[in-house]
Amino acid sequence: MRVISVSETGDLLWTEAADLVPSPAEILIDVKATAINRADLMQRKGLYPPPPGAPETMGLECAGIVMAVGRDVTHHQVGDRVCALLAGGGYAEQAVVDQGSALKIPDNLDFEQAAAIPEVFATAWLNLFIEAALQPGERVVLHAGASGVGTAAIQLCHAFGSESFVTAGSASKIEACLKLGAKGGHNRRDGGFIDALRALWPQGADVILDPVGASYLAENLEALTLNGRLVLIGLMGGSRSEIDLAKLMMKRLRVVGSTLRARPLEEKASIMAELSQYVWPKISQGEIVPIIQQVFPIQSASAAHELMASDVTIGKVVLKVSS
C-alpha cells in the first residue's frame, strides 16, 4: 500500500509501505477518503506525536470499504461501507481500527462526505453532551464556529434543542454559521465577544466549547452563567493564564480539559455508539450534514495542509484516495 509520510524537511510524500493485517478485534479498511484536522498540522511539525501504539502516519479519520475482519469482529463484515475514528493512519490506502471505532456509512453519503464526520462529530458530541452534559434549552458558545468541530457542534446544538453563539474570524464565516443554525455570532477580529453575547443572552451562556485556551479564559469565565461549564479542547491561544478562583466559586463554574485521540478504545466505542444511536438517524434524514470546504487528491496533501493552515476554511478539508 501507499501512505503519506513526512520527510526530514517536513515535505509530504506519497510512499510505499507494508500492507496491514487486522488484529482479532480490528477491521481492515480499503480507504477511499480521509480528512485533515489541525492535529495533523501539529504532528507534521513534531508538536503532537501519536499516542503509544498508534501509527506514525497522520490521519484521525477515514471512510472506505471493509477488506478483512479479525476473528473476534461481530459488528462488521467484508464489503461494508464504513467511516472510522482513528488514533492515526488515515492518510493511506489501508487502515486498521478496532471494530467499535467504525460505523456503517449512511446510504445518503458518499465516501468524501463520510470521511468528514468521525473526528469532528465525535469531538463535538463528547464535549457537549458527555463532558458538559448539555441539556435542551441551554445556551452554548462555540469558539472557532466555522471549523470542522464548530460546524458539527452548531448542528448538534440545533438538532437537540440548544441555541448557539459563535465566534469566528470573518463576516463570511459568521454568516455560514448562522445558516447552519447559530443564533448569533461575533467576529473575533473586532475584539472581545462579551458585549455581542450579552446583547443576545443577557444572562450569559451555560456551556462554552473552546479550542483557543489561555487568551479566552478570562472572558469565558465572565460569559458563563451560574453552574456554567467551560470545556477546553485546544490551545491555539496559549496554555497558561491566570484564573479568577473567586469567580469560579461564586458562579459554581466547572472547567473541563478534554482530548479525544488518546482515550481508551472502550471510551471511543461508547462515543461512536452514541453517535450511531442519536446522530446517525439525523444524518440519514439530511437534518445534519458534513460541511466540506474542498476535496483534494491525497497526492496533493501539501496543498490541502496549506489551505487548512490559511484559516479561511469553513468546515472540513478532505483527501480523496484513488484505488
pLDDT digits (tens, 9 = 90+) for 289-303: 999 999 999 999 999
Closest CA to 237 of 315, 140, 143, 141: 143
Instruction: Identify whether residues 87 and 171 lie together within a single domain.
Output: no
Instruction: Identify whether residues 140 and 98 lie together within a single domain.
Output: no
Q: What is the pLDDT of residue 236?
A: 87
Q: What is the pLDDT of residue 41?
A: 96
C-alpha cell at 228: 456554567
Q: What are the start-end ranges of the H helices in 3-53?
A: 38-44
Instruction: Identify whether residues 126 and 248 lie together within a single domain.
Output: yes
Sign of CA dihedral 291, 297, 299, 302: negative
Instruction: Identify whether residues 171 and 239 lie together within a single domain.
Output: yes
- φ/ψ (deg, to 5) at 151: -65, -30
Last residue of a domain, one of 257, 277, 312: 257
Per-residue pLDDT band for 108 (boundaries 50, 70, 90) equals very high
pLDDT at 160 over 80: yes
pLDDT at 226 over 80: yes
In a domain, 276, yes or no: no
pLDDT at 151 over 70: yes
Q: What is the pLDDT of residue 322?
A: 81
Q: Indicate the number of domains in the chain.
A: 2
In a domain, 282, yes or no: no
pTM (2 d.p.): 0.96
pLDDT at 323 over 70: no
Dmax of the chain from CA atoms? 58
Q: Which domain holds residue 95?
A: 2-117+290-320
Instruction: Identify whether residues 201 and 249 lie together within a single domain.
Output: yes
